[in-house]
C-alpha cells in the first residue's frame, strides 16, 4: 500500500479554567480550544514493524523516540485491535515541544487517524477514543482537531463554531512541563479552585456566525488559570505577553495551555503579519507564527 499522510495541527487554549483537583490526582478543567494553521506532518508507510523516524527543525527537541506519544498511541491501539496493521511512521517536527500547544498530542492523534484509515476503523470507534484519552489528556481534542469547549480531564468535547481568527503565536523556546505548572498551582486532592456555584454556571459562548470581535469580548472575560503559575516557573512568559501586547492591533494576548507558547488575536491577517515581523526582529531566538485559528 502507498504511504498515508496526516497533519498534527497546533492546539491553542483560548481559555483555560481549572475547576479543581480530583482525588485521583487529575485536574478537572474547562477550556475553549481552537486549532492553528501550523502543524507537524506525519507519514505512515505500511510494513511489518512499528517504528518511528523523526526529521524537521525541531526533531532533536523530542527526546528519545521510544517515549514518543506516536508509538505509545499505536501500541495501545494494537492491544485492542486484533492483527492491527501498522508500519513505519515518519514525523516532520516543526512545532515546539513542551509548549502548551499539544504538539505531541497532535502527533499521537494523527497517528491514530492514520492507523484508523489503514485498518478501516471509523474515527468514532470506541477503542480509538479510549486509546486517545489513555495516551494523554489533550489527545481526544486533537483527534477531532476542531474548535470545542473541552471539559473534565479532556474527554468531554462540545463543538463550537469559531470564525477564522487572525493570530500570532510566540514561543520563547523554553520548555515548560505541564506537571510542574499544575504542581505550582498548588491545589490539594479534592480541592476546588472555583466556587461550587461557578462549576454549574458556564459561559455562554457566541453562536455560529459571531464575529472575531464578538468572540474577543467574551474571551476577555475569561482567563487561563495556569498563566500565573507557569510565569512563576518561566518569567519569560510575561515578556512574551508584553511583546504581543506592544504590537499594533493586538486585541487580546494570553498564554496557551500550560505554556510557554502565547498568542494574540488581531482584527485581520495583515495586522498579525506585521506584528509577527516586529517580534521576529526584536526576538530572533523566539519561535513565531502568524496565521489563523479556527
Catalytic annotation present for 138: yes
Structure-block grid coordinates of residue 208: 455560529
Catalytic residue among 6, 138, 225, 271: 138
Q: Rounded to an integer, what distance in angstroms lies between the CA atom of residue 41 and that of residue 261?
A: 20
Are 225 and 17 contacting, i.e. CB atoms less than 8 angstroms apart? yes
Spot the catalytic one: 6, 11, 93, 225: 11
| Pairwise CA distance, residues 192 & 198, whole Å | 10
Annotation says 92 is catalytic: no
Contact 31, 145 (CB under 8 A): no
Pairing, β 86-92 against β 51-55: parallel
Would you please indicate which residues are annotated as catalytic (active-site) residues? Answer: 11, 138
Amino acid at each position: 500500500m502507498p504511504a498515508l499522510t496526516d497533519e498534527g495541527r497546533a492546539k491553542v487554549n483560548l481559555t483555560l479554567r481549572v475547576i479543581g483537583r480530583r482525588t485521583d490526582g487529575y485536574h478537572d478543567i474547562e477550556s475553549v480550544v481552537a486549532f492553528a494553521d501550523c502543524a507537524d506532518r506525519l507519514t505512515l508507510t505500511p510494513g511489518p514493524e512499528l517504528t518511528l523516524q523523526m526529521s524537521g527543525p525541531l526533531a532533536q527537541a523530542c527526546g528519545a523516540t521510544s517515549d514518543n506519544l506516536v508509538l505509545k498511541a499505536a501500541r495501545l491501539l494494537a492491544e485492542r485491535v486484533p492483527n492491527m496493521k501498522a508500519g513505519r511512521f515518519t514525523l516532520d517536527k516543526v512545532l515546539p515541544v513542551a509548549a502548551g500547544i499539544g504538539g505531541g498530542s497532535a502527533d499521537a492523534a494523527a497517528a491514530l487517524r492514520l492507523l484508523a484509515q489503514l485498518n478501516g476503523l471509523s474515527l468514532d470507534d470506541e477503542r480509538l477514543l479510549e486509546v486517545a484519552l489513555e495516551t494523554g489528556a489533550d489527545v481526544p481534542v486533537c483527534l477531532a482537531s476542531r474548535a470545542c469547549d473541552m471539559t473534565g480531564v479532556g474527554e468531554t468535547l462540545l463543538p463550537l463554531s469559531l470564525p477564522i481568527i487572525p493570530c500570532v503565536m510566540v514561543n520563547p523556546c523554553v520548555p515548560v512541563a505541564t506537571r510542574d505548572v499544575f504542581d505550582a498551582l498548588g491545589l490539594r486532592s479534592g480541592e476546588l479552585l472555583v466556587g461550587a456555584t461557578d462549576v454549574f454556571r458556564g459561559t455562554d459562548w457566541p453562536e455560529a456566525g459571531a464575529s472575531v470581535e464578538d468572540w474577543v469580548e467574551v474571551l476577555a472575560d475569561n482567563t487561563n488559570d495556569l498563566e500565573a503559575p507557569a510565569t512563576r516557573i518561566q518569567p519569560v512568559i510575561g515578556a512574551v505577553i508584553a511583546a504581543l501586547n506592544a504590537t499594533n492591533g493586538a486585541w487580546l494576548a494570553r498564554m496557551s495551555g500550560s505554556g510557554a507558547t502565547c498568542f494574540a488575536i488581531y482584527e485581520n491577517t495583515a495586522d498579525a503579519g506585521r506584528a509577527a515581523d516586529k517580534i521576529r526582529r526584536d526576538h530572533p531566538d523566539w519561535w513565531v507564527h502568524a496565521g489563523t485559528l479556527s
